Amino acid sequence: MNYENIYIEEENSIATITIDRPKKLNALNKDTIRELHTAFKELDEDATTKVIIITGSGEKAFVAGADISEFADFSMKEGGKLAAKGQELLFDMVENLGTPVIAAVNGFALGGGLELAMACHFRVASDNARMGLPEVTLGVIPGYGGTQRLPQLVGKGRAMEMIMTAGMLDAEKALASGLVNYVVPQEELLPLCKKLASKISNNSAVAIKQAIKAINAGYSYDKDGYAVEIDAFGSCFGTNDFKEGTAAFLEKRKANFPGS
């Protein structure tokens, strides 16, 4: 697949997707969202890809938001459709992807950019990163899941304040709020993400997929997270990864998971 707005590099079962519109601070236009959808789908279906890292090109921005030029003249109906389509194609898809996704937040993550980072399974930031949901300065609200995922990550009061003031958190504040897991200098950002990805890739991909499902169920209004966990736990016992993992432990050797 040829992409115009993103590129993908793969090394040691770790795929890095880079959003590549640096002149527009990697703002998410319709084409970029479609390309990201296809890329995530293909990488998720490729059994050799164990972890996906997503980042922005250049040193200034992860993603500075949805592309404002594309929706400035939208009607109410078109606005609703924009949010629904984006959530379906990208944000909900990434959150529920079976392959772990790490956001490498390398600069501004604003609006749809922070929403994309929050849809990822966890986030690592460079020390120049700045994060916020400035939509109310434009007369709209976050529409790619931001009103739901920000309170999950930082708590309701902090999310209310961030969304109402449209203020930005610097990397250290984002770390203290639980929005990101680590803050490192920019040159160490991808190496750290790859180190974490490598650790993840040594573990059972099948079990990790079930864990993502169970964790996400707890944040879903129509699911019982504990019941989903019981089901997911039980289904692990039918996998080759479970046979290998337990056998390797008992034989005092390193597991070599078949991924099935």
Catalytic residues: 115, 135
| 8 A C-beta contact, residue 193 and residue 12 | no
Tokens describing residue 209: 């997929």
Residues 9-28 close enough to bind ligand COA by CB under 6 A: 24-25, 27
What is the helix (H) or strand (E) element at residue 44, kind and residue range?
helix 30-45
**Is residue 65 part of the contact set for ligand COA (CB under 6 A)?**
yes
Among 44, 67, 95, 241, binds ligand COA (CB under 6 A): 67
**Is residue 110 part of the contact set for ligand COA (CB under 6 A)?**
yes
DSSP state string for 60-128? SEEE--B-HHHHTT--HHHHHHHHHHHIIIIIHHHHT-SS-EEEEE-SEEETHHHHHHHHSSEEEEETT
Q: Which is nearer to ligand COA, 30 or 223 (CB)?
A: 30
Among 134, 145, 146, 245, binds ligand COA (CB under 6 A): 134
**Is residue 44 part of the contact set for ligand COA (CB under 6 A)?**
no
| Total residues at interface with ligand COA (CB under 6 A) | 16
- Supply the minimum distance, in Å, between the C-beta of residue 130 and ligand COA: 8
Stretch that binds ligand COA, among 33-41, 51-59, 60-68, 198-206 (CB under 6 A): 60-68
**Is residue 108 part of the contact set for ligand COA (CB under 6 A)?**
yes
Among 17, 33, 39, 64, binds ligand COA (CB under 6 A): 64
In sequence order, what are the residues at sequence separation of 6 or more whose Cβ sits closer than 8 angstroms to the Cβ of residue 72? Answer: none
Instruction: Sort strands 130-132 and 168-170 into parallel, antiparallel or unpaired.
Output: antiparallel
Number of helices (H) and strands (E), helices first, in the chain?
Answer: 12, 10
| 8 A C-beta contact, residue 129 and residue 80 | no
**Is residue 56 part of the contact set for ligand COA (CB under 6 A)?**
no
Among 69, 165, 202, 256, binds ligand COA (CB under 6 A): 69
Q: Which is nearer to ligand COA, 100 or 134 (CB)?
A: 134
**Is residue 245 part of the contact set for ligand COA (CB under 6 A)?**
no
- Supply the minimum distance, in Å, between the C-beta of residue 145 and ligand COA: 13
**Is residue 36 part of the contact set for ligand COA (CB under 6 A)?**
no
DSSP state of 182: E
| 8 A C-beta contact, residue 125 and residue 180 | yes
Q: Could you tell me which of 37, 140, 157 has the C-alpha nearest to residue 87? A: 37
User: Which residue's structure tokens are 């490598």?
Assistant: 198
**Is residue 53 part of the contact set for ligand COA (CB under 6 A)?**
no
**Is residue 145 part of the contact set for ligand COA (CB under 6 A)?**
no
Q: Which residues bind ligand COA (CB under 6 A)?
A: 24-25, 27, 64-69, 108, 110-112, 134-135, 138
